[in-house]
Homo-oligomer: A and B are copies of this chain.
Amino acid sequence: MKKIKIVIIGYGNVGRGVQKAIAKNQDMELVAIASRSVERVKAEVKDVPVVDVREIAKWQAELQADVAILCGGSKSDLDKQTPEIIKYIPTIDSFDNHSCLPAYYAKIDEAAKKANRPAIISLGWDPGIFSLERVLANAYLVGARAYGFYGLGPKGGLSMGHSDAIRTIKGVKDARQYTHAITEAIDKVRNGENPEFSAGDMHSRECFVVLEDGANPAEIEAQIKSMPGYFAPYKTTVNFVTQEELNEKFKGFPHDGCVVSSSTTGDGNGALIEYRCQWGSNPEATAQVLTAYARALKKFVDEGKCGAFTILDIPASYVSPLSKEDLLAKMM
């Protein structure tokens, strides 16, 4: 079997996760890691070529990668990077800013069509597999809304975006933010109420903050709680801890969540669909999903497709390592 040749673009937590995920998929092969910080990555990675992302024309001519998995962040990297990379290699990315998604789609669609290549955008668990489940539940349970909840367990789920937001406050040395789903809200959805929620009805936020020397805790707590969008709409708890406590008690990137939809069939028979994910490592979860879709992207290339696609455009059989015969006999 000819393996799918993959290059990883960007080597942070997601990039490391993709590297490990590729090793688990026998039909895939990591041909290089591309970074802007070649020396930093080379110090960590010994068994894979590390190349400078800016020299893509040169190394791609030699490596002939089938797929580039972009592991940079949505904020600054992807918007500029994806339209560049697609000129040379079909791309997969995890662009996750929901409100900017239509504009990002349009931008990548144009660049991909110009390059005559396919690009799959916004993969991961949300947007990504949760988007897929929202659309399916909404089609099966006609008219039912699909609600997303995050941080179901007692410890909640670590939100990198909210942790970063706290760290931008002057006087904050380090911080981690755990999101908690409000159980009563999930129960309302399960009961078929199709409720109208504001953001604060569904989740609360718990912050663990390390202060710089001399910072004023009361002031910082007030600043966090009043941050528009991030914390202002939510019941927020702020706990001050030492760096040692933060490192020990709040390590790793655990997250979990669910998509819940409820309505009725026929003349009022209850119907409930609930999709739940639980991840010991959030960036590795994103990485495994990105990696699985390398298969679909390669098939799109073989079919001559070009333009931007989302998870909603991709049949499950394109994502599976199994043959059509095995899918029919073992998985249907």
List residues of chain A with CB under 8 Å of any chain B CB: 16-17, 20-21, 24-25, 98, 101-102, 105, 122, 127, 129, 131-136, 138-143, 146, 252, 264-281, 284-285, 287-289, 292, 295, 310-317, 319-322, 325, 327-329, 331-332
Contact = CB atoms under 8 A, between A and B. Distances in A.
5 contacts: A102-B328, A127-B332, A271-B288, A276-B276, A313-B315
Contacts of A327: 135, 310, 312
B319 A313 contact: no
A129 B273 CA distance: 11
A327 to B, nearest CB: 6
A139 to B, nearest CB: 4
A307 to B, nearest CB: 12
A276 B273 contact: yes
A68 to B, nearest CB: 20
B143 A267 contact: no
Contacts of A273: 275-278
A20 B265 contact: yes
Contacts of A146: 331
Contact of A138 (B133, B280, B310, B331): B331
Given A143-B24, A315-B313, A316-B132, A285 B265 contact: yes
The 6 closest A-B pairs by CB, nearest first: A269-B280, A265-B284, A269-B281, A270-B280, A272-B278, A312-B317
A4 to B, nearest CB: 13
**Oligomeric state, in copies:** 2
Contacts of A328: 101-102, 105, 310
Nearest to A98: B332
Contacts of A140: 129, 288-289, 292
A23 to B, nearest CB: 10
A265 B288 contact: yes
A277 B190 CA distance: 11
Given A101-B329, A272-B278, A278-B272, A284 B266 contact: yes
A21 B265 contact: yes
A278 B271 contact: yes
Contacts of A131: 331-332
Contacts of A24: 142-143
A242 to B, nearest CB: 26
A109 B331 CA distance: 18
A70 B147 CA distance: 32
Given A266-B281, A279-B271, A281-B266, A310 B288 contact: no
A265 to B, nearest CB: 4
Given A20-B266, A21-B265, A24-B143, A331 B271 contact: no
Contacts of A287: 265-266
Contacts of A331: 131, 134-135, 138, 146, 312
A140 B127 CA distance: 15
Scoring A98, A252, A327, A332 by chain B CB atoms within 10 A of each residue's CB, the highest score goes to A332
